[in-house]
Amino acid sequence: MDNEATTFAEMRQDMVARQLAGRGIDDTAVLQAFLTVPRELFVPREYRQNAYDDTPLPIPNKQTISQPYVVAYMFSLLQLQPTDRVLEIGTGSGYAAALLSQIVADVYTVERHQNLVEYARKRLAYLHYNNVHVHHGDGTVGWAAHAPYNSIIV
Protein backbone atom coordinates (compact mmCIF):
# COMPACT_ATOMS: atom_id res chain seq x y z
CA MET A 1 0.00 0.00 0.00
CA ASP A 2 1.47 3.37 -0.94
CA ASN A 3 1.68 6.31 1.47
CA GLU A 4 -1.40 8.06 0.03
CA ALA A 5 -3.51 4.89 0.34
CA THR A 6 -2.27 4.37 3.91
CA THR A 7 -3.15 7.95 4.81
CA PHE A 8 -6.65 7.61 3.35
CA ALA A 9 -7.17 4.29 5.15
CA GLU A 10 -6.18 5.94 8.42
CA MET A 11 -8.46 8.90 7.71
CA ARG A 12 -11.31 6.48 6.93
CA GLN A 13 -10.78 4.63 10.23
CA ASP A 14 -10.69 7.92 12.13
CA MET A 15 -13.90 9.09 10.42
CA VAL A 16 -15.71 5.92 11.45
CA ALA A 17 -14.43 6.04 15.03
CA ARG A 18 -15.02 9.73 15.68
CA GLN A 19 -17.77 10.93 13.36
CA LEU A 20 -19.93 7.82 13.18
CA ALA A 21 -19.41 5.45 16.13
CA GLY A 22 -18.43 8.40 18.31
CA ARG A 23 -21.77 10.04 17.58
CA GLY A 24 -23.92 6.99 18.27
CA ILE A 25 -23.97 5.00 15.02
CA ASP A 26 -23.79 1.41 16.22
CA ASP A 27 -25.02 -0.65 13.26
CA THR A 28 -22.00 -2.87 12.60
CA ALA A 29 -22.86 -3.43 8.91
CA VAL A 30 -23.07 0.32 8.34
CA LEU A 31 -19.80 0.98 10.17
CA GLN A 32 -18.06 -1.82 8.25
CA ALA A 33 -19.28 -0.40 4.93
CA PHE A 34 -17.83 3.01 5.80
CA LEU A 35 -14.54 1.34 6.75
CA THR A 36 -14.44 -0.49 3.42
CA VAL A 37 -15.52 2.03 0.77
CA PRO A 38 -12.85 4.58 -0.23
CA ARG A 39 -14.72 7.92 -0.23
CA GLU A 40 -11.67 9.65 -1.71
CA LEU A 41 -12.33 7.86 -5.02
CA PHE A 42 -15.84 9.29 -5.23
CA VAL A 43 -14.89 12.97 -4.95
CA PRO A 44 -13.05 15.12 -7.50
CA ARG A 45 -9.27 14.97 -7.12
CA GLU A 46 -9.05 18.52 -5.75
CA TYR A 47 -11.22 17.51 -2.75
CA ARG A 48 -9.57 14.17 -1.91
CA GLN A 49 -7.73 15.56 1.11
CA ASN A 50 -11.14 16.55 2.50
CA ALA A 51 -12.81 13.24 1.65
CA TYR A 52 -13.16 12.20 5.29
CA ASP A 53 -14.35 15.52 6.67
CA ASP A 54 -17.91 15.32 8.00
CA THR A 55 -19.23 17.65 5.35
CA PRO A 56 -20.82 17.48 1.91
CA LEU A 57 -18.33 17.99 -0.93
CA PRO A 58 -18.94 19.29 -4.45
CA ILE A 59 -19.18 16.92 -7.41
CA PRO A 60 -20.07 17.75 -11.03
CA ASN A 61 -23.38 19.40 -12.01
CA LYS A 62 -23.47 21.57 -8.88
CA GLN A 63 -24.36 18.46 -6.86
CA THR A 64 -22.73 17.24 -3.65
CA ILE A 65 -21.61 14.00 -2.09
CA SER A 66 -23.51 13.83 1.20
CA GLN A 67 -22.07 14.30 4.69
CA PRO A 68 -20.92 10.88 6.00
CA TYR A 69 -22.77 11.11 9.33
CA VAL A 70 -26.09 11.92 7.65
CA VAL A 71 -25.71 8.92 5.31
CA ALA A 72 -24.75 6.58 8.18
CA TYR A 73 -27.65 7.82 10.30
CA MET A 74 -30.12 7.35 7.45
CA PHE A 75 -28.85 3.83 6.72
CA SER A 76 -29.04 2.91 10.42
CA LEU A 77 -32.66 4.04 10.65
CA LEU A 78 -33.57 1.79 7.73
CA GLN A 79 -32.33 -1.34 9.55
CA LEU A 80 -31.02 -2.74 6.28
CA GLN A 81 -30.69 -6.50 5.88
CA PRO A 82 -28.26 -8.52 3.70
CA THR A 83 -31.13 -9.79 1.53
CA ASP A 84 -32.63 -6.33 0.88
CA ARG A 85 -33.12 -4.63 -2.48
CA VAL A 86 -32.76 -0.86 -2.19
CA LEU A 87 -33.71 1.94 -4.57
CA GLU A 88 -31.62 5.10 -4.33
CA ILE A 89 -32.87 8.28 -5.97
CA GLY A 90 -29.94 10.50 -6.94
CA THR A 91 -26.80 8.48 -7.64
CA GLY A 92 -24.43 11.43 -7.62
CA SER A 93 -20.86 10.12 -7.55
CA GLY A 94 -22.01 6.63 -6.55
CA TYR A 95 -20.61 6.73 -3.00
CA ALA A 96 -23.86 5.99 -1.15
CA ALA A 97 -24.64 3.21 -3.62
CA ALA A 98 -21.18 1.74 -3.01
CA LEU A 99 -21.79 1.82 0.74
CA LEU A 100 -25.19 0.19 0.30
CA SER A 101 -23.62 -2.52 -1.88
CA GLN A 102 -21.64 -3.66 1.16
CA ILE A 103 -24.79 -3.98 3.28
CA VAL A 104 -27.60 -5.24 1.01
CA ALA A 105 -28.02 -7.74 -1.84
CA ASP A 106 -28.87 -5.32 -4.65
CA VAL A 107 -28.80 -1.56 -5.11
CA TYR A 108 -30.77 0.15 -7.88
CA THR A 109 -29.92 3.80 -8.30
CA VAL A 110 -31.39 6.46 -10.58
CA GLU A 111 -29.59 9.63 -11.69
CA ARG A 112 -30.91 12.37 -13.97
CA HIS A 113 -27.52 13.71 -15.12
CA GLN A 114 -25.96 11.47 -17.78
CA ASN A 115 -22.41 12.58 -16.93
CA LEU A 116 -22.96 11.59 -13.27
CA VAL A 117 -24.31 8.22 -14.40
CA GLU A 118 -21.04 7.67 -16.28
CA TYR A 119 -18.98 9.09 -13.37
CA ALA A 120 -20.62 6.68 -10.92
CA ARG A 121 -20.55 3.65 -13.23
CA LYS A 122 -16.83 4.13 -13.85
CA ARG A 123 -15.99 4.22 -10.14
CA LEU A 124 -18.33 1.40 -9.18
CA ALA A 125 -16.92 -0.84 -11.93
CA TYR A 126 -13.32 0.01 -11.00
CA LEU A 127 -14.03 -1.03 -7.41
CA HIS A 128 -16.00 -4.14 -8.47
CA TYR A 129 -19.28 -3.17 -6.81
CA ASN A 130 -21.19 -5.50 -9.11
CA ASN A 131 -24.47 -5.49 -7.21
CA VAL A 132 -25.09 -1.80 -8.00
CA HIS A 133 -27.27 -1.05 -11.02
CA VAL A 134 -27.18 2.55 -12.27
CA HIS A 135 -29.97 3.96 -14.44
CA HIS A 136 -30.17 7.28 -16.26
CA GLY A 137 -33.66 8.62 -15.68
CA ASP A 138 -36.08 10.71 -13.70
CA GLY A 139 -35.88 9.68 -10.06
CA THR A 140 -39.36 11.06 -9.37
CA VAL A 141 -40.77 8.05 -11.23
CA GLY A 142 -38.45 5.53 -9.57
CA TRP A 143 -37.35 2.37 -11.37
CA ALA A 144 -40.45 0.18 -11.56
CA ALA A 145 -38.76 -2.57 -13.59
CA HIS A 146 -36.95 -3.82 -10.48
CA ALA A 147 -39.64 -3.20 -7.86
CA PRO A 148 -40.53 -4.04 -5.18
CA TYR A 149 -37.81 -2.62 -2.95
CA ASN A 150 -37.31 -3.09 0.77
CA SER A 151 -36.20 0.53 1.14
CA ILE A 152 -36.09 3.70 -0.94
CA ILE A 153 -33.47 6.35 -0.21
CA VAL A 154 -33.66 9.88 -1.56
Q: Residues with catalytic annotation?
A: 66
3-state secondary structure of 124: helix
Residue 45: phi and psi, rounded to 5, are: -50, -40
- CB within 8 Å of 30: residues ≥ 6 apart: 20, 72, 75, 76, 80, 99, 103
Q: What is the DSSP string of 74-90?
A: HHHHHT--TT-EEEEE-
